[in-house]
Amino acid sequence: MRLGVLDVGSNTVHLLVVDAHPGARPLPAYSHKADLRLAQLLDDAGAIGPEGIDLLVGTVRDAMEAAEDKGVEDLLPFATSAVREASNADQVLARVKEETGVDLQVLAGPEEARLTFLAARRWFGWSAGKLLVIDIGGGSLEIAYGIDEEPDAAVSLPLGAGRLTSSWLSQDPPDPADVKTLRRHVRTEIARTVGEFSRFGAPDHVVATSKTFKQLARLAGAARSAEGLYVQRELKRKSLEDWVPQLSAMTAMERAELPGVSEGRAGQLLAGALVAEGAMDLFGVETLEICPWALREGVILRRLDHLPTS
């Protein structure tokens, strides 16, 4: 069957269309993405303003047309941090449903972490042993750990790269004092969760998902995305620690000229790097591997698990 996942995230609205059936690997058929940056459209009261709602409605409508054109028979629409934490989330969801017919399901932060963990587990398999999975989104950071397909621990922290950039790094290039303050804030937040994971023992394999980690790994010398999904890509903490001071001294435009860094994400890259560095340091991770699958694939896999096999 042809499934569609509509992911309304803090940075982008992404429609992923796959051909899938239970027991088989989902095969990507089409991808439609729009940079909306909802996390940056929140007003002082934490609400998505009228312009932002209009943009979201229009973007969802476009995605629905694309899904129909591609023959999607089952659409799985969901929203994450930006909508979840908006003070007018109910109003936003009602407008989207009224004008597009799409009933966006808002995922709780820990559920995001669990679904991303499921995707990583399926990608790496049982031989990976105890997995620690780290995901940096636009609005939140998700961390999950476990030996099965359901993690033993899963948390979500308000440490997304977009959120932190807009709240803490207002200058371009950033003020060194602001970078130092943000670094301290990030590490304080992450440190509060470490004990919840450490009681389960050291992981056998540490993996990371998200555009932020992929770009950081590319900076550190990992293979280009054009070389395919099955090329192993790693990020070493030492390489990341070497890059953070360089990113801190650059403007967003200068970062956009780095290999693998998109113009749309360049402004957020420093904040993302500070979160990645903090997580790897506090969890004692020297090297992690980049996982091609993440939340969207987790949503698809969960749906397939609930389909009849005949």
**CATH code, domain with 137:** 3.30.420.150
pLDDT digits (tens, 9 = 90+) for 251-267: 999 999 999 999 989 99
pLDDT digits (tens, 9 = 90+) for 63-109: 999 999 999 999 999 999 999 999 999 999 999 999 999 999 999 99
Q: Is residue 75 part of a domain?
A: yes
Same domain assignment for residues 98 and 202: no
Instruction: Supply the CATH number for residue 52's domain.
Output: 3.30.420.40
Q: Is residue 300 part of a domain?
A: no
How confident is residue 40, by pLDDT bands cut at 50, 70 and 90? confident
Q: In the chain, how many domains are there?
A: 2
C-beta of residue 265 within 8 angstroms of C-beta of residue 257: no
Same domain assignment for residues 96 and 114: no
pTM score, two decimals? 0.95
C-alpha pair distances (Å), 183 with each of 49, 178, 270: 30, 8, 10
Tell me the average pLDDT of the chain. Answer: 95
Same domain assignment for residues 44 and 161: no
C-alpha pair distances (Å), 219 with each of 59, 154, 223, 234, 280: 31, 28, 10, 11, 17
How confident is residue 309, by pLDDT bands cut at 50, 70 and 90? low
Query: What phi and psi, each to the nearest 5 degrees, are found at residue 141?
Result: -110, 130
How confident is residue 22, by pLDDT bands cut at 50, 70 and 90? confident
Same domain assignment for residues 114 and 95: no
Average pLDDT over residues 210-231: 94
Q: Is residue 304 part of a domain?
A: no
Q: Is residue 243 part of a domain?
A: yes
Query: 78-87 burial by CB neighbour count: b if 16+ within 10 A, else e?
Result: bbbbbbbbbe
pLDDT the model gives residue 310: 55
Same domain assignment for residues 211 and 96: no
Average pLDDT over residues 45-68: 94
Terminal Cα-to-Cα distance of the chain (whole angstroms): 13
Same domain assignment for residues 101 and 244: no
Same domain assignment for residues 209 and 236: yes
Pairing of strands 12-19, 287-290: unpaired
Domain hosting 90: range is 2-106
Residue 192 pLDDT greater than 90, yes or no: yes
